[in-house]
Amino acid sequence: MKQKRQFFGTDGIRGTVGIPPITPDFILKLGFALGSVLKNGYSRNKVLIGKDTRISGYMFESALQAGLSAAGMDIRLLGPMPTPAIAYLTRTFHAVAGIVISASHNSFQDNGIKFFSGEGSKLPDEVELTIEAEMEKQMRTVAPDRLGKAERIEDAAGRYIEFCKSTIPYDVSFKGLRIVVDCAHGATYHVAPSVFRELGAQVETIGTQPNGLNINAGYGATQPQALQTAVLYQNADLGIALDGDGDRVIMVDAKGEIVDGDELLFIIAQARHKVNTLQGCVVGTVMSNLGLEQALEKKGIPFKRAAVGDRYVLEMLKETGGNLGGESSGHIICLDRTTTGDGIITALQVLAASVQTGLPLHILKTGMHKCPQLMINVPITPGLDIISQPSIQKAVTEVEQQLKNQGRVLLRKSGTEPLIRVMVEGTDMQKVENAAHQLAEVVKVEANG
């Protein structure tokens, strides 16, 4: 039986600041545990730490630094940087690991910790389990002459900007494009606008004034309404909405319509397929719209579904030899460009496809027709697992019978929030809405005891 993780979810450790485990003492011990584990298995002893713009990042950066130093690990501090930038810099600095202090798309009250390996990929489950086991032991600081040292990397942003620009052909220019970039007051605020400007685009920005408390507040990939308004007001060609830590992106076309992760994945897959650089299967998740699967099938492109979470998309890509996968939420992994989901790099691939074909975003997405889909998030008590309850399973069966093999039903527990996600998909929107609300009501009753 697979050992259950106590603290790590699908995307690291996350929660509300001040409530265990997101407390300074826990993070201190987590840093020490990581340092102790890495010392045992690796010859290098350098760890990078980056963070997003939420105010608690200062506190947790110091706690991690102290724990790692006590374990004898050297530290390189990046300051506010996008999650995928930390993955990239971990590789280029030949560090043994990279640490991200971020709660991604959550509000400032939350924070979290996630790790990258020296190769720039999420740590395997077994390593996370080893870290958890190490945390049960007493902290024993190394001898004073073995304590780790800390240095700040001053040119981290410039290094990452140049890397992003290198992911599209050198002869592709965005000159003449007018775009709006929404950085969600998050970690991309000081890098994303520069990337697109340096490639020739005329860039207007929103969500680029972080104050520690406004990350993801009314802006970004999870709240793209402000971007839709800005694109129309600015008469822009398109808009790019990144989330708080920069690993996901949602775009807006010139008509002000949202282009989600499934559509972005289709656009990139189609572009790669035309020039024969698409390898293996395109990988989505169980939440990916059926329309994506159908559109790729028409192009002769194989498609597979992984469990929700970019780590599982990456695992399936490696298993199938693929180089492109992603989620409806906008986590897109271009393995032929980088090792993890990257909102800026994803947007660059889409813009490059637009420039190379001469087609605007609203035309590029027309090859895919989304099936009606509705997802309802039902709050539950943290730790509660009710999906297997007979009343819920009976309700699922009833909904599936109503859809008559012309749709899908999916219930899943969120890996990052205390929610049950109820998703229904089909060919008729009215039936989908009725079925989703019917099923969500049953889940609510069970959740409330």
Strand 178-182 and strand 202-206: pairing?
Answer: parallel
Taken in order 290, 312, 167, 221, the sign of the CA dihedral is positive
Q: What HEC string does the chain produce?
A: CCCCCCCCECCEEEEECCCCCCCHHHHHHHHHHHHHHHHHHCCCCEEEEEECCCCCHHHHHHHHHHHHHHCCCEEEEEEECCHHHHHHHHHHCCCCEEEEECCCCCCCCEEEEEEEECCCCECCHHHHHHHHHHHCCCCCCCCHHHCCCEEECCCHHHHHHHHHHCCCCCCCCCCCCEEEEECCCCCCCCCHHHHHHHCCCEEEEECCCCCCCCCCCCCCCCCCHHHHHHHHHHCCCEEEEECCCCCCEEEEECCCCEECHHHHHHHHHHHHHHCCCCCCCEEEECCCCHHHHHHHHHCCCCEEEECCCHHHHHHHHHHHCCCEEECCCCCEEECCCCCCCCHHHHHHHHHHHHHHHCCCHHHHHHHCCCCCEEEEEEECCCCCCCCCCHHHHHHHHHHHHHHCCCEEEEEEECCCCCEEEEEEEECCHHHHHHHHHHHHHHHHHHHCC
For tokens 């808009």, the residue is 239
245 Cβ contact partners less than 8 Å away, ≥ 6 residues apart: 52, 82, 83, 100, 102, 103, 104, 105, 186, 187
Catalytic residue positions?
104
